[in-house]
Amino acid sequence: MSTTLKQLPEGYKIRPMEPTDYSVLKILEVLTTVGSISEEQFSLQVEEWKLNDRIYNPLVVTNNNDDVVACGMLFVEFKLIHELGKVGHIEDIAVRSDQQGLQLGKHLILALTEIARSKGCYKVILDCDEKNVGFYQKCGYSVAGVEMSIRFDK
Amino acid sequence: MSTTLKQLPEGYKIRPMEPTDYSVLKILEVLTTVGSISEEQFSLQVEEWKLNDRIYNPLVVTNNNDDVVACGMLFVEFKLIHELGKVGHIEDIAVRSDQQGLQLGKHLILALTEIARSKGCYKVILDCDEKNVGFYQKCGYSVAGVEMSIRFDK
């Protein structure tokens, strides 16, 4: 790791996302469109992830008021290559805009990376904008390739 | 699509990977280390994918001798963003080395992309080496970002 990591601020915690963490949706709006999702739909999705916890590992950061202030996802892909190897994928890291500068994103990346390691993944990958390469390098990641995408019209 | 796609050669087919397609492992060796996987381990992995077919969609291409000559994977990630949106991930595209020039890779990419579209994904992403960007552009993909990775020591 090329930079030191401060401790989480007092009272802040990292824990698995729960079906009651509906406020996660507000946090995700810093990333992209979230759209209309009811509390019930949210709970069902998180419960489904929990039933598939070999694959899905969503985390949240809560503050000293127990409000969710950041979130992130690790999912684990089961492959054939590398002797039935597993690869972790980090997705949808979001930090509430008034919580920048507390290294919450870095804490999340390191926690998700550690889950992947403990589950036996041989690597973790993620895709980011060019401007965030430096941040992920400080989290121990290296540039590995090019992300390509195709979007479908609705 | 910026190039035309020839039809598959006569007798060639694209179909879902089956638990009996053990020869897939030889094909994957063109990509990276596969290691020691027994026929039983292979079958169990493919059966587990079939039980999770909302997520895992492995395809193979067979030739006029019914030999597997190429393979590829689409897995579908269930998200919160984009109104409980789904994203397809294409992984581990491999073509037997004596089958180059038949556009089997392109056929696979288009078939996997079509599965993602039919399953309601709003986009498909994949990571590749810089040298393969042009190939994926011909498949309708665009550069979207940077792939970062971290590898763990055994």
Q: What is the pLDDT of residues B74-109, one digit of tens each?
A: 999 999 999 999 999 999 999 999 998 999 999 999
Cβ distance A74 to B111 under 8 Å? no
The CA distance from A127 to A75, in Å, is 13
Tell me how close the Cα of A148 comes to any Cα of chain B, in angstroms. Answer: 5
DSSP letter string, A27-73: HHTTTS------HHHHHHHHHHHHHTTTTEEEEEEE-TTS-EEEEEE
The CA distance from B14 to B29, in Å, is 20
Spatial CA neighbour of A69 closest among A114, A113, A109, A100:
A100
Spatial CA neighbour of B108 closest among B142, B153, B62:
B62
The CA distance from B152 to B25, in Å, is 23
This complex has an ipTM of 0.93
Mean pLDDT over A95-108 rounds to 94
Residue A80 sits at the chain B interface (C-beta within 8 Å):
yes
Q: Which domains are delineated in chain B?
A: 13-130 (3.40.630.30)
SS3 B122: coil
Mutate to test the interface with A, among B36, B39, B81 (most CBs of A within 10 A): B81
Number of neighbouring beta carbons within 10 Å of residue A147: 22
The CA distance from A113 to B66, in Å, is 41
Task: Verify whether the Cβ–Cβ distance A123 to B34 is below 8 Å.
Answer: no
Per residue of chain B (154 residues), give pLDDT as tens: 445 678 999 999 999 999 999 999 999 999 999 999 999 999 999 999 999 999 999 999 999 999 999 999 999 999 999 999 999 999 999 999 999 899 999 999 999 999 999 999 999 999 999 999 999 999 999 999 999 999 998 6
Predicted pLDDT of residue A6: 81
Predicted pLDDT of residue A154: 66
Task: Verify whether the Cβ–Cβ distance B84 to A152 is below 8 Å.
Answer: no
The CA distance from A89 to B73, in Å, is 15
Which residues of chain A neighbour B35 with C-beta distances below 8 Å?
82-83
Which residues of chain B neighbour A129 with C-beta distances below 8 Å?
145-146
Beta bridge partners of A73: A58, A91
Residue A39 sits at the chain B interface (C-beta within 8 Å):
no
Which residues of chain A neighbour B151 with C-beta distances below 8 Å?
122-123
What sign results for the dihedral spanned by CA atoms A16, A20, A23, A25? positive
A18, A22, A26, A32: CA torsion to nearest 10: 70
What sign results for the dihedral spanned by CA atoms B47, B48, B54, B59? negative
